[in-house]
Amino acid sequence: MPTWIVDFLMTRLARHSDEGLAKQLTRLIREAIVAGRFTEVSHGEQGVARLPASRELARQLHLGRNTVIQAYEQLQAEGYLETRQGAGSFVVPAFLRKPGPTAVRAQPLGLSSRGNALVSTATIPDGLSGAFAPGMPEIRQFPHHVWQNLLSRHQRSTPWPKLGYTVDGGLPALREALAEYLVLSRGVRCTPEQILIISGAQIGMELSARLLANQGEVAWVEEPGYAGAHASLQAAGMDLVAAAVDDEGLNPDSVQDTRTPRLIYTTPSHQYPLGVVMSLPRRLALLAHAARCGAWILEDDYDSEFRYSSQPLPALQGLAQDERVIYVGTMSKVMYPGLRIAYMVVPDGLIDAFRRAHARLYREPPYITQAALSDFLQQGHFARHVRRMRELYQARQHTLRSALASSSAHWLPLSSGKAGLHLMAHLPMLANELALSHAAATQGVVLRPLARNYLGQAPQKGLVLGYAGVNDHEIRHGVAILARLLQEVQHHD
């Protein structure tokens, strides 16, 4: 009988543990087997590893015999032990480690090269709330009671078959309500059948890249741009090429790389993060360019509901003469990010492929959330909430501007703020964005450095200041800290 096993078990069994003795014994013997402690020549004893007889082991460990029998039977049922008539319990040969140098060395585990590329560029965003976290809407003033009522009503009344798998591309009533909204408010040309309900804008981006581009084909992305889009396109195997953003938006003529893009990602309504609204001539030029090189355009219309100075320009999708624009919108900014509902509008000829791929890869968001959202839109709550938030965010942007203007940071150039939930504050090239951001974080203020949004070396410096999710007091407090830190940094330079 191998004596090491008695010592091994004796030193590890905990008499007063919540885990019963039979369970512990089972686990410990299983661990010893999996770790390869039973060798074909077990500690000098020839032959396959035989476990001590249950009576003997119970005696040595001061356990009831039934406890040992229970553990042996469980390990036998799991396939680690086998009993041989009249000879006792043995470790199944597949788990016996060959002694000495012939033992197989496990290959080290690691990420694929695609995985490595993704994690080396994708940083987990930090500073997701408070002043001045970018992209955060005002969650405290969301009509939670209305939303809860709609959710509970559907929770109570949903017929069971609706709680199974669904493959329609989204609840038909929600797709209808969204199509009406997108046509009227965003100038999108679509029918409800072209809409696919997804669990986040990035799923739409990744799905588009997976379905429309081959491994290694080129995607143009805005420089600077949305890091989430970079990650989605890269994860789908695309090579990213930076297209500079100027005063009119993404500039196709700025691209040096001579490879033809298969896909062009853009945020024309409100460029993220610079805040530029793409001009009409530039929209037409971009569409013409895409048509010439046979590229798809991926339009990310993430926060255009919040437009402050004039009527929004219609979506690029509505302007295109052909069906080359995939439109992606999200509820994260209009409602709240944790809802995880977004949508895409796909050209007629592609919707079947997108619906199938989406059903296979990701599946649809929960039925009850979709049903509640459909009511939220149809009963006017959505439009009312957008109207209220538009006024609130405009006022908050004003608070941020005037707080900065009356502080020692009054010289900071700010973006136009015609739309959206954030302003860009441009910093002089000498300023140390990262030091500023670290120092602010220690005081509870989020200053997202513009450098985070560049694929390459950033030719300008700045801070992305989200103002929508924080009240006037929080904005003023954040500005006071920003202004003080800016002075300190200047002092050190």
Ligand X SMILES: Cc1ncc(COP(=O)(O)O)c(C=O)c1O
Reduced to 3 states (helix: H, G, I; strand: E, B; else coil), residue 156 is helix
- DSSP-assigned letters across all residues of 158-173: --GGGGS---SSS-HH
DSSP 147: H
Shortest gap between Cβ of 2 and ligand X (angstroms)? 56
Shortest gap between Cβ of 202 and ligand X (angstroms)? 5
Amino acid at 378: Q
Among 95, 226, 306, 343, binds ligand X (CB under 6 A): 226
Instruction: Please identify, using beta-carbon distances, which residue of 97 and 333 lies nearer to ligand X.
Output: 333
Shortest gap between Cβ of 101 and ligand X (angstroms)? 52
* CB count in 10 Å sphere of residue 341: 19
By the rule CB under 6 A, 393 interacts with ligand X? no
Shortest gap between Cβ of 329 and ligand X (angstroms)? 8
Q: What is the widest separation between alpha-carbon atoms in the chain?
A: 92
Shortest gap between Cβ of 57 and ligand X (angstroms)? 56
Which 328-357 residues touch ligand X, going by CB under 6 A?
330, 332, 337, 342
Instruction: List, in order, residues 6 or more apart from 224 with CB less than 8 Å away.
Output: 245, 273, 274, 450, 453, 454, 458
From 23-31, 63-71, 198-206, 291-299, span contacting ligand X (CB under 6 A): 198-206
Shortest gap between Cβ of 270 and ligand X (angstroms)? 8
Which 123-162 residues touch ligand X, going by CB under 6 A?
135
From 51-59, 195-203, 250-258, 350-358, span contacting ligand X (CB under 6 A): 195-203
**What is the C-alpha to C-alpha distance for residues 437 and 133, in angstroms, rounded to an integer?**
12
For residues 302, 304, 306 and 307, what is the CA-based torsion angle, rounded to 10 degrees?
150
Instruction: Please identify, using beta-carbon distances, which residue of 190 and 344 lies nearer to ligand X.
Output: 344
Which residue is it, tokens 């390869």?
36
Reduced to 3 states (helix: H, G, I; strand: E, B; else coil), residue 136 is coil
Among 201, 221, 231, 463, binds ligand X (CB under 6 A): 201
**What is the C-alpha to C-alpha distance for residues 14 and 305, in angstroms, rounded to an integer?**
61
Residue 315 in tokens: 């979506």
From 5-13, 200-208, 289-297, 457-465, span contacting ligand X (CB under 6 A): 200-208
E strands within 306-345? 325-330, 342-345
From 93-101, 151-159, 196-204, 375-383, span contacting ligand X (CB under 6 A): 196-204
Residues in contact with ligand X by CB under 6 A are: 135, 200-202, 226, 228, 267, 272, 300, 302, 330, 332, 337, 342
